[in-house]
Amino acid sequence: MTPEEMQSLCAQYTKTYDGQIPPMWKAAFDDNLQAMKALHFFYRKGVDGFDAMNREDRSMPTHIACLRGHHKVLAWLASLHWHDGRLVTNFNLRDDGGHTPLWLCAVWGWEKCVRFLLTLPHVHPLIPDTSGVSPEEAARRVGFHQIADAIKVRADELGVTLPERTFWDEPDKRFYVKEPEPEPVEEESEDEEDME
């Protein structure tokens, strides 16, 4: 791709940037890997980079790629590293509903994306959403049992477990006013009765 073509792709996504939905996010939504590469070349940091979230729902390019099943975009995002070897993209970030990229792939049935994410050593397979539903459970609820089984196998391999299940199957007790405990009734001792 020539520099002029790259600039044209960048302009296609940057000219309409409104401060809400970053160009990199839009390119991920469109499954436009060439535009993402061009944006990465010209804008390595800031609003046009991978750390830019959609201000409407706090989702990242990884979230939208997983929501729409864009496997090639995910693979490319996972291939990017900083000079010290750290990944550019954090695949464990949650959007405003608490959904990780893996959770979104699992619930929408994008098996190829799920299996790819489960091969990445830094992806935690059981991060629950804000209601406490793990990716495995979310997949089972909508009938994607093979995906749920793959997540369970990976969680077992890593030795990770889901936090205790008490908080999403019952009303959240943190939001209820605690009833004051009744004051204990003092019983008269035998010595006091003898004194009378």
pLDDT tens, position by position, 38-81: 888 776 554 445 556 666 667 788 888 998 999 999 999 888 87
* Residue 188 clears pLDDT 80, i.e. is over it: no
Q: What angle do CA 41, 93, 63 make, to 5 degrees?
A: 65
pLDDT at residue number 114: 96
pLDDT at residue number 56: 65
3-state DSSP assignment of residue 87:
strand
Q: What's the whole-number mean pLDDT along residues 171-184? A: 47
If one counts every other C-beta atom within 10 angstroms of the C-beta of residue 151, the result is: 28
* Residue 1 clears pLDDT 50, i.e. is over it: yes
pLDDT digit string, tens, across residues 112-167: 999 999 999 889 999 999 888 999 999 999 999 999 999 999 999 988 887 655 44
Reported pTM: 0.73
CB of 80 closer than 8 Å to CB of 37? no
* Consecutive H or E run containing 174: none
Q: What is the C-alpha to C-alpha distance for residues 61 and 54, in angstroms, rounded to an integer?
A: 8
- In which band, very low, low, confident or very high, does the pLDDT at 172 lie, cut at 50, 70 and 90? very low
Residue 29 makes CB contacts below 8 A (sequence gap 6+) with 64, 68
Cβ neighbourhood burial of 132 (10 Å; 0-12, 13-18, 19+):
middle
Residue scoring higher pLDDT (184 or 178)? 184
- In which band, very low, low, confident or very high, does the pLDDT at 171 lie, cut at 50, 70 and 90? very low
- Nearest of 131, 138, 151 to residue 108 by alpha carbon: 138
pLDDT at residue number 47: 41
